[in-house]
Structure 1
Amino acid sequence: MNYQADVCIVGAGPGGALLSHLLAKKGLSVILLEQNAALGQAFRGEHLNEEGEAVLKSHELFEAVEALGLLRMGKLEYYTEGRAFKTILPDKVVGHLGIHVPQTNLLKGILQETQHFPHFSCFLNTKVTKLIVDSSGRYTGVIATRDGETIEISSQLIIGADGRYSTIRKQAHIDFQKRKHGFDLLWAKIPAPQGWEPSIKMALIGDKQLSLFTQVGGFIQIGWNIEQGSFPQLRKKAFTPFIQQLTDQFPELSDTVMGHIKSWQDFVLLDVFSSHSNSWGTKGLVLLGDAIHTMTPTGAFGLNSALKDAECLASLLNKNTLAHFDVQDFQQIREQDIEEVLAKQIEKEQTFAANFINKAS
């Protein structure tokens, strides 16, 4: 089956969803493709910062997301030996130190405000298998499988918003450079004890960061940095001494940790790296978000940068610019900001332990 649209966006993450909304609102026809059968199934960041919040509010989308559920962090605490020795409170004007938004709530909030546009379609369970290119070398569409059926989508512009392992980037043969940061990340999720306040809590295990983030629905997300590539060897060691390091720092979590993190299988491993490319696209094709500048989880910048990418790109696109859009225009606006964010991430990672040097006695 063949389809046609002004723009084909691959990847229904935050960047792809927001860009779909903004372009459909401008009157462009948009087809959004997502390889998963439901929104928000893949691992993605879930914390809005002040900039991401501002983007959603400026396009009158924040209220729709908030109605589905979000949680503002009220404080940041640094812990040692089972107690908080430093507390940071939010600026009164901002009112939070980050907002937890479940991925499904963010995407549904944006797309429910997009579905009423008659020239917008979202195809789930649809995996791109090939890019279509014309005789001049311009990309003009994609071939994909949708529920087992092969479909073809022709478009004036293809947007690759399909994450750190982007199929569109690979298919377009766009080179990128990966940078390892010396650590990988273990994720786990546990129920919060009764009375747990919305907060971010940090501790130092050896020389590695341990973070707790309160989540919507009464949960706590654990992010535990470990030495890069060490998990296969770590799994061979006894689990109890390892998890004891967590409960030593946060004794009030002992019961819920012991009840829900019982083995190495209860952690999810994230391969941590950042990446960049000298080219953000080519004729008829543009990349955004993690597809072109993967970020580490540090500071939760990835989600917010993708939203800013989408907002910027949408401001440059209209019916008249699509056919001759120059990706350099987009790259020149956003690249410096992305480089600054990546530098900020590296600084945060390298100086994290310094927060514990002058801890209270």
Structure 2
Amino acid sequence: MEMNSDICIVGAGPGGALLAYLLAKQGMEVVLLERHKEVFKEFRGEHLNEEGEAILKKHNLFTKIEELGMLKMETLEYWENGKLFKTIYPDLAVGHFGIHVPQAHLLTVLINEAKKYPNFTLMTGTTVKDLLKNELGSYTGVKAVQDGKEIIIHSLLTIGADGRYSTVRKKAGIDVEVRKHGYDLLWAKIPAPPNWEPSIKMALIDEMQLSLFTQAKGFIQIGWNIREGSYPELRKQPFTPFIEKLIKAFPQLKQTVNEHIKSWNDFVLLDVHSNFSEEWGKEGLALIGDAVHTMTPTGAFGLNSALKDADTLATLLAHHRITDLDILNCATQRKKEVEKLQKIQIEKEQTFATQFVLYS
């Protein structure tokens, strides 16, 4: 099977889905590929900041997502030995410390809006196996597999929005600088106790950061930093003393933690690293989001940076013919912004413990 399209986007996460919608709205033929059968798979980075909020409002998407459900964080709190010692309130002009948006709600709106245009095609359960190139070395599309059958998609521009382990990036031979941050992350999700206020709560345990993020639909996401590479040895140790540290830090969670976190298997391990590429594309190919600049969880910049990449690229394509687009020049502004954010992440990680010095 062969297809022709103006744009082929690989990866139907927030960045890829937003870009697909914006380009379809401009009248371009867009094919959006997703390797999973279901687009609406759960993911960990679900917090919008004010930049992501502004982008969605700019394109009249925010209200539609809000109707499905989201939750604004009202306070940022610091806790020590089970006691709250510092509360920070958001800037009145912003009104929150981030907004939890379930991925299913965000992607439902983006995909449904894109489907309003007959020039948009979504192909799920489709895995990219290789990139197409012409005799001049320019990229001209992808080879993919769906239900065991090969699909050839010819396109004027191929966009890799396929995450930190991007197949498109690897197949294009684009190198990234990988930076380790000295920690890995354990994720868990538990029901919130009654009367839990929308907030981000922080604690320091064994000199490592522990964060609680309130989620829509009555849940709490736990993000617990552990020393890089320590999880195999940690799993060999008794579980009870470990989880008691969480309960000591936040006593109000005792019942829900005991009911829902019973073993190491109730945590998901995230290998934390950031990466950055000087090369954001090649002739006929561009990268956005984690495919070109993976962020750590600190500051919840990842989702918002992917949305900004998509918005920026869509704006450029609205003013240039696809074949005239200079990917390297187009990336200049975003590269500077992302470099700045990654430096902020490192600073936040290195200075987190100082929030507790005065209290101690």
Name stretches of at least 5 consecutive residues in structure 2 with no aligned partner.
Answer: none
Aligned to 1:351: 351
2:32 is matched by which residue type in structure 1? L
Q: Which amino acid letter does the alignment assign opposite residue 277 of structure 1?
A: S
Q: How does 1:80-91 map to 2 (within 5 A)?
A: 80-91=80-91
Equivalent residues in 2 for 1:1-361 (5 A)? 1-41=1-41, 43-318=43-318, 321-359=321-359
Which amino acid letter does the alignment assign opposite residue 90 of structure 1?
Answer: P
Distance (whole Å) between structure 2 residues aligned to residue 128 and residue 42 of structure 1: 21
Return 5+ residue gaps in structure 1 as ranges.
none
Residues 28 and 319, structure 1, Cα contact 8 Å, conserved in 2: no
Amino acid at match of 2:321: T
TM-score (norm 2): 0.98
> Contact between 1:56 and 1:62, CA under 8 Å: does it hold in 2?
yes
CA distance in 1, matches of 2:44, 2:23: 23
Q: What SS does structure 2 have at the residue aligned with 1:113?
A: helix
Contact preservation (8 Å) 2:42, 2:103: no
Q: What amino acid maps onto 1:171 in structure 2?
A: K
Percent of paired sites with the same residue: 59
Q: Compared with structure 1, are the counterparts of its residues 23 and 46 closer, same or farther at alpha carbon in structure 2 (3 Å cutoff)? A: same
1:125 is aligned with what amino acid?
G
One-letter code of the match for 1:174? I
CA contact (8 A) 2:40 2:108 kept: no
Q: CA deviation at 1:95?
A: 1.3
Cα shift at 1:145: 0.9
User: Counterpart amino acid of 1:78?
Assistant: Y
Q: Which moved more, 1:138-147 or 1:36-45?
A: 36-45
Greater than 4 Å deviation, 4+ residue runs = none
- Per-residue deviation, 1:44: 4.2
1:295/1:301 contact within 8 Å kept = yes
Partner SS for 1:317: helix
1:72 and 1:99 in contact (8 A); partners too? yes
Letter in 1 for 2:305: S
After superposition, give the CA deviation of every residue in 1:292-335 in whole Å (9 maximum; x if it has no partner).
Answer: 00000000000000100111011111485211321112211211
| Cα contact 1:64–1:110 (8 A) shared by 2 | no
Determine helix, strand or coil for the equivalent of 2:352. helix
Q: Are 1:247 and 1:254, in contact at CA under 8 Å, matched by a contact in 2?
A: yes
Give the Cα separation in 1 of the matches to 2:85 and 2:318: 53
Alpha-carbon distance in 1 for matches of 2:40, 2:304: 16
CA distance in 2, matches of 1:247, 1:177: 38
Q: In structure 1, what residue type is equivalent to 2:303?
A: L
Q: Distance in 1 between matches of 2:51 and 2:180?
A: 26
CA drift of 1:217 comes to 0.9
Q: Which amino acid aligns with 1:334?
A: R
Q: 2 CA distance for matches of 1:241 and 1:347?
A: 31
Give 1:170's aligned amino acid: K
For residues 191 and 265 of structure 1, the distance between their equivalents in structure 2, rounded to whole angstroms, comes to: 17
In 2, the alpha carbon distance for the partners of 1:109 and 1:216 equals: 17
Question: Structure 1, residues 167-225: CA drift from partner, whole Å, max 9, x if none?
Answer: 00001010111000000000000000111111100000011000000111100000000
Q: Secondary structure at the match of 1:257?
A: helix
For residues 247-273 of structure 1, the C-alpha deviation after alignment (integer angstroms, 9 at most, x for no partner) is 001101001001110000000000000
Q: What's the TM-score, normalizing by structure 1? A: 0.98
Which residue identity does 2:81 align to in structure 1?
A: E
Taking a change above 3 Å as real, the CA distance of residues 347 and 56 of structure 1, as seen in their structure-2 partners, is: same
Please tell me the root mean square deviation across aligned C-alpha atoms, in Å. 1.1
